[in-house]
Amino acid sequence: MFAKSAEIRLNRPAPRPTAAVRARGKRRLKAALFLLSAVLASTALVWAYGAVRRAAARNSFFVVKTITLTGAKRLDERRLRGLLSAGLAGNIFTRDIDRLTLLLEKLPAVESASVRLKLPDLAEVAIVERRPVASVTVGGRAFLMDASRRLIGEAPQGWSGGPAIIGCKCAGATGDWLPEGRLDDALKIARLFSLDTYWHEKAASLDLSDPARTGVVTTSGVFLRFGPDKGAWREKFYEYVSARRISEVAGVRFAGYDLSFEGQVVGVGAEGSFTKNQTNKNKG
């Protein structure tokens, strides 16, 4: 009796799907078809783009014909344009502008470069040159140096765009970065002269040959000497300005000041040398 009842239950037909189930199935099918259509459309677009690009890359209409160059003021423009012509020769779609940018930025005088291509045949090149802030004598030769201690190139004779730094105990050539940290100290001292609003002088030369002191000669020939206490440099510079003005009022020719002594400023005038506390006659 029980076996027959079980057999009857097993032979019952499966229940028909409801309207909600059928609707969900249709939505899933539509979503799958939409996704498939999107994939096919994207594939077609990629293929079409590739085909158009390949065709354009073979078309002489898109060969680079014009190169504009901005920012090159101190560089040899003729040599630079030769490099650009070689790197940009050919179709605009096949130029490797990243490689060309790296080549430009390897030039010692170039801080940064950018290359932009514009259809149909234009290349725009912008250069930011390294700005020399001083000349530094290395191995008996004078080089232009930027604020990061990078040697830009040999200093032209009579260059006056910044102080001349001598006594640097380091070696280098054009394009090298100098590891000598005292060069930063020299540039810091040179910047102190922006505080001089009376004589408006600048540091003409800085001497690093003494490891404990930095010697300075101004544009008028006055000498200064700074010690190792960098924190006192600004205050001592103001002391120099004050003492020089006092000497001017007193009618004493001012030759220079040694600011490297702790707690005192030693000055030299036409008639004698003196500290802040006493005056001593020159002995020769």
For helices 182-192 and 233-250, angle between their N-to-C axes, nearest 10 degrees? 40
Beta carbons within 8 Å of 216's beta carbon, 6+ residues apart: 189, 203, 205, 206, 207, 223, 224, 225, 226
Selected residue with higher pLDDT from 139 and 55: 139
For the stretch 193-237, pLDDT in tens is 999 999 999 999 999 999 999 999 999 999 999 999 999 999 999
Torsional class of 268: left (φ above 0), alpha (ψ -120 to 50), beta (otherwise): beta
Number of helical (H) and strand (E) elements in the chain, helices listed first: 6, 14
Q: Could you tell me the residue range of the domain that residue 64 belongs to?
A: 60-129
Q: What's the pLDDT score for residue 44? A: 56
Domain count, the chain: 3
The per-residue pLDDT of the chain, averaged, comes to 83
Residues 66, 120, single domain; the answer is: yes
Q: What's the pLDDT score for residue 177? A: 96
Residues 258, 192, single domain; the answer is: yes
For the stretch 58-114, pLDDT in tens is 667 788 999 999 999 989 999 999 999 999 998 888 899 999 999 999 999 999 999
Whether 186 and 206 have beta carbons less than 8 Å apart is answered as yes
Listed range (11-15, 142-146, 270-274) with the worst mean pLDDT: 270-274
Q: Does position 40 have pLDDT exceeding 70, yes or no? A: no
Q: Does residue 16 lie within any of the structural domains?
A: no
Q: Does residue 4 lie within any of the structural domains?
A: no
Residues 165, 243, single domain; the answer is: no
Cβ count near 62 (within 10 Å)? 18
Residues 197, 277, single domain; the answer is: yes
Q: What's the pLDDT score for residue 26? A: 67
Q: Which of these, 192, 265, 197, 263, lies nearest to 225 by C-alpha position?
A: 265
Q: What's the pLDDT score for residue 278? A: 39
Q: What's the pLDDT score for residue 20? A: 67
Residues 65, 125, single domain; the answer is: yes
* CA distance linking residue 89 with residue 171, whole number of Å: 39
Both tokens assigned to 259? 């600011």
CB burial of 11-32 (b: ≥16 within 10 Å; e: otherwise) equals eeeeeeeeeeeeeeeeeeeeee
Q: Does residue 67 lie within any of the structural domains?
A: yes
Selected residue with higher pLDDT from 121 and 52: 121
Residues listed for the chain: 284
Whether 79 and 72 have beta carbons less than 8 Å apart is answered as no
Average of pLDDT values for 157-174? 94
Q: What's the pLDDT score for residue 92? A: 87
Domain containing residue 104: CATH number = 3.10.20.310
Q: Show which of 145, 162, 178 is a domain's final residue.
A: 178
Q: Does residue 54 lie within any of the structural domains?
A: no
Average of pLDDT values for 269-280? 44
For helices 77-88 and 97-105, angle between their N-to-C axes, nearest 10 degrees? 160
Q: Does position 1 have pLDDT exceeding 80, yes or no? A: no
Residues 191, 279, single domain; the answer is: yes
